[in-house]
Amino acid sequence: MYEGKLVFSQLMDHLPQQTFRRHVERYGGDRSVRTFSCQDHFRCMAFAQLTYRDSLRDTVTCLNAQQAKLYHMGIRGQVRRSTLADANERRDWRLYAAFAQALIVTARRLYAGDSFGADLKAAAYALDTTTIDLCLSLFPWARFHHAKGAVKLHTMVDLRGNIPVVVHIDDGKSYDTDILDVMIPEPGAFYVMDRGFFDLVRLYRLSSAGAFFVIRAKDNLRFRRIYSRPVDRASGVICDQILTLTIKMSARRYPARLRRVRYRDPQTGKTLIFLTNNLDLPPRTIADLYRCRWQIELFFKWIKQHLRIKSFFGNTENAVKTQLWIAVCVYVLIAIVKKRLAIEASLYTILQMISVTAFEKIPLDQLLNIRAHQKTDPAEGNQLNLFND
């Protein structure tokens, strides 16, 4: 029988503890703290994410039901509802944001060689925003409309591995394009966006930094065609044009040439028009790049369904951001474990298996290896027949 670490502890061992301590010291997380450290805080909140806890009371009750195992989970302090609530409200959320970025760097290295559905060697990112509705009377700082509250997650996902690279959390009044002001453009990389990010000033800033973008064109775009390139209509590409903008204000905001690719999806029959500043890629690759943008929609759907980011354990801005960033840490941690242990199961399957075995002592690689759980048929002749003559 395996007498080693708990499944939860084995999972936490994949975290860079030295990096976590460095960020705790940087932001003074354990300053004037006697019993409930940032390490305890993070592990309790990570446990809530991994095991689908719905509230602080639920989390504390489950942990205290296994009081004898808390030390082996790396939780040294007493777990109380009031203590955990205070930690959510007072511990600087930037500590967990910085730690999430460190995990993201590790995950991106692991997934750097993965393909993502487009014939492209350069880095490619998808940008989008999702809104999480809040009750304005409980979250007055997150005003969206006059009678509604919300927070927005402005996210940039690396299409190789579907790893969130940039996450900017803001109130509901913010615009989708705000993430373009936060991110640092990577020369040679491709940024894939929907029409909500159509801002000529910001797009030209991307182009000037040496980056490329692929975005849906607006219907009212006015332009002058310079020339057209030959296309293979059998691939779904209808036209491939080089153009300049004609309206004075638009031309002033984006004075360079643009490329316009019109594509008909053979499966749905829908016609899509893309704009890009890359003049070299085949037009079908441009269309494939935009199709891969759907991965960020799947990312939002996954975290909303399987992590605790729709019901919050505190009402302050710090508590909400703390919970969201720890949820990002958990998502990236599961992706890291999947790659390091060469697990074929999906992230959903891994999360489900950990949620029901967190207090068990099973080797993590053995637990998550689906093939090891599959029964094989016994060899013929091993079982004697009682009714043989």
The pLDDT, as a whole number, for residue 4 is 83
pLDDT bracket for residue 269 (50, 70, 90): confident
Q: What is the pLDDT of residues 277-310, one digit of tens each?
A: 999 999 999 999 999 999 999 999 999 999 988 8
pLDDT tens sequence across 314-327: 999 999 999 999 99
The CA distance from 288 to 116, in Å, is: 10
- Check: CB of residue 110 under 8 Å from CB of residue 161: yes
Confidence check: pLDDT of 3 > 80: no
Q: What is the pLDDT of residues 346-386, one digit of tens each?
A: 999 999 999 999 999 999 999 988 655 554 444 444 544 44
Tokens describing residue 211: 């980056």
Q: Residue 357: its pLDDT value, please? A: 93
Model pTM score: 0.89
Instruction: Compute the distance between CA of residue 156 and CA of residue 173 in angstroms, rounded to an integer.
Output: 19
CA 207 vs CA 211, 258, 327: distances in Å: 5, 10, 33
> pLDDT digits over 107-134, tens only?
999 999 888 888 888 999 999 999 999 9
pLDDT of residue 194: 93
Q: Which among 351, 335, 295, 347 has a CA at the least distance from the CA of 107?
A: 335
Question: What's the mean per-residue pLDDT of the chain?
Answer: 90
Residues 131-169: pLDDT tens digits? 999 988 889 898 887 778 899 999 999 999 899 999 999
Q: Is the separation of the CB atoms in 367 and 357 below 8 Å?
A: yes
Give the pLDDT of residue 2: 55
CA distance 217 to 261: 9
Average pLDDT for 77-90: 92
Report the range of poorest mean pLDDT among 160-164, 188-192, 264-268, 372-376. 372-376
At a CB cut-off of 8 Å and minimum separation 6, what does 282 contact? Answer: none
Q: Which tokens sit at 180?
A: 């373009």
Alpha helices in the chain (DSSP H): 7-12, 17-26, 38-50, 56-64, 81-90, 93-110, 179-182, 200-208, 248-253, 283-291, 294-306, 317-340, 347-355, 364-368, 370-373
CA atoms of 47 and 52, how far apart (whole Å): 8
pLDDT tier at 234, thresholds 50, 70, 90: confident
The 10 Å Cβ neighbour count of residue 306 is 20
Reduced DSSP (H G I as helix, E B as strand, rest coil) percent helix, strand, coil of the chain, to 5: 40, 20, 40
State whether residue 120 is helix, strand or coil.
coil
Which run of H or of E encompasses 57? helix 56-64
